[in-house]
Homo-oligomer: A and B are copies of this chain.
């Protein structure tokens, strides 16, 4: 899709500081200046809704979702209580129920929207711990044995952050290859309590085998959490939902509609299969100024005490609004389109080498400039390759023609990670990326 503006207008931190008039002063200013600040903020911001933005696991939001966010911005609901956010307490419930239906929890469950997948993964860890050791809420970990959890090599870094934050410790996160077993970790000194699986990993977009992990968890009485922040959207596709086969056996699921479904940040659901009020019991503090018992309506609608936040934005609304407007079938079509684009022929191009066949929409590949194409695979070759992506990335940013991320990963030298999300990405855009990378890097 031809686009009349660039993806980004790169300026160094020093230059941009000079360009923007950042200082906050005693006096106010004329509206025209404020408008100029808005123009500048837009001009120098990354255009995340540009069809050549492939840099992150999200792109700028769907247009209906944007309208939805304007509505909630202007009205400023906060989801402590039904009294304070009647519309949004009901809408959050409907959206959570629909997502649980997609997961396959036929008897429902519970859940809460919160500011990001990292938070959802923290909720999962706290809930798993509380379910096993309810005394932890009051007495803390000093009343518990050392707790350990398992995750796969490709998990999101938020699992480590959560373990640190919750006082469990990053060293108590055992990283296991998916085909290895969890049996022998239970000693008198350490108690395994959960497995955090990933459905759609950040880098490669791969899916842990949920059925197998569910078997292990059942056998060893472990909480199974599935971080489907990125991959959850596949549940909307009849063609691709097999990627999450077995997800209904999870105890909890994290799923971010702001990623593949373009519902706008942050739109992150934490879903839990429990129906006994575990989420509430685990997090409640019963603040007297919000959760009065002598209210005149059904206080089960006051969901705020399930949250670790106090004020909480109405993040479900814009997702609900776009879902209403588009319908499930259009969401499915978009997911299918993104996966289809990701499978298009990078491998058929000279100088482009796929790291792996995409399972999802992460297209990970190396660009090999002409000067290197005759060098045989060797440490020297990969050392040269390592320098290619950062250099092209720099040129790409300075040109502003597109944004694609890069990184090294394990033994793999720096490669590009191109993420396909937008329903407006066409085969022409895919060709553009390859042409442009070649244009920017052919001399290297």
A-B contact pairs, 8 of them (CB 8 A): A23-B94, A38-B321, A40-B87, A42-B74, A44-B86, A140-B172, A142-B144, A288-B407
**Contact of B170 with A167 in the complex, beta carbons under 8 Å:** no
**Contact of A171 with B138 in the complex, beta carbons under 8 Å:** yes
A246 at the interface (CB under 8 A from B): no
A187 at the interface (CB under 8 A from B): no
A310 at the interface (CB under 8 A from B): yes
A397 at the interface (CB under 8 A from B): yes
The complex places the Cα of A28 from the Cα of B292 at a distance, in Å, of 40
Residues A140 and B136 in contact in the complex (CB < 8 Å), given A76-B61, A78-B56: no
**Contact of A169 with B136 in the complex, beta carbons under 8 Å:** yes
A141 at the interface (CB under 8 A from B): yes
Name the residue of chain B whose CB is nearest to the CB of A410.
Answer: B288
User: A370 to nearest B CB, angstroms?
Assistant: 23
Residues A91 and B313 in contact in the complex (CB < 8 Å), given A46-B85, A140-B169, A169-B140: no
**Contact of B58 with A78 in the complex, beta carbons under 8 Å:** yes
In the complex, chain B residues whose CB is within 8 Å of the CB of A406: 292
A41 at the interface (CB under 8 A from B): yes
Task: Return the CB mask of A23-43 against B: 1 if under 8 Å, else 0.
Answer: 111111101011001101110
In the complex, chain B residues whose CB is within 8 Å of the CB of A45: 75, 77, 85-88
CB-CB contacts below 8 Å: A149-172 with B: 156-158, 160-172
Task: Return the CB mask of A378-406 against B: 1 if under 8 Å, else 0.
Answer: 00000000000010011001000000011
CB-CB contacts below 8 Å: A313-336 with B: 313, 317, 320-321, 323-330
A82 at the interface (CB under 8 A from B): yes
The complex places the Cα of A203 from the Cα of B292 at a distance, in Å, of 13
Residues A141 and B142 in contact in the complex (CB < 8 Å), given A296-B394, A324-B24, A417-B289: yes
User: A287 to nearest B CB, angstroms?
Assistant: 4
In the complex, chain B residues whose CB is within 8 Å of the CB of A329: 26-28
The complex places the Cα of A322 from the Cα of B108 at a distance, in Å, of 44
Pick the contact of A34: B42, B165, B321 (CB < 8 A): B321
Give the total of A residues in contact with B, Cβ under 8 Å: 148
Name the residue of chain B whose CB is nearest to the CB of A22.
Answer: B94
CB-CB contacts below 8 Å: A286-301 with B: 286-289, 292, 294-298, 301
Residues A292 and B390 in contact in the complex (CB < 8 Å), given A60-B76, A70-B73, A265-B76: yes
Name the residue of chain B whose CB is nearest to the CB of A320.
Answer: B24
In the complex, chain B residues whose CB is within 8 Å of the CB of A324: 21, 24-25, 28-29, 33-34, 37
Pick the contact of A164: B49, B172, B283 (CB < 8 A): B283
CB-CB contacts below 8 Å: A9-25 with B: 10-13, 16-17, 20-25
Residues A138 and B170 in contact in the complex (CB < 8 Å), given A22-B91, A321-B34: yes
The complex places the Cα of A67 from the Cα of B417 at a distance, in Å, of 34
A64 at the interface (CB under 8 A from B): yes
A266 at the interface (CB under 8 A from B): yes
Pick the contact of A38: B71, B95, B116 (CB < 8 A): B71
A90 at the interface (CB under 8 A from B): yes
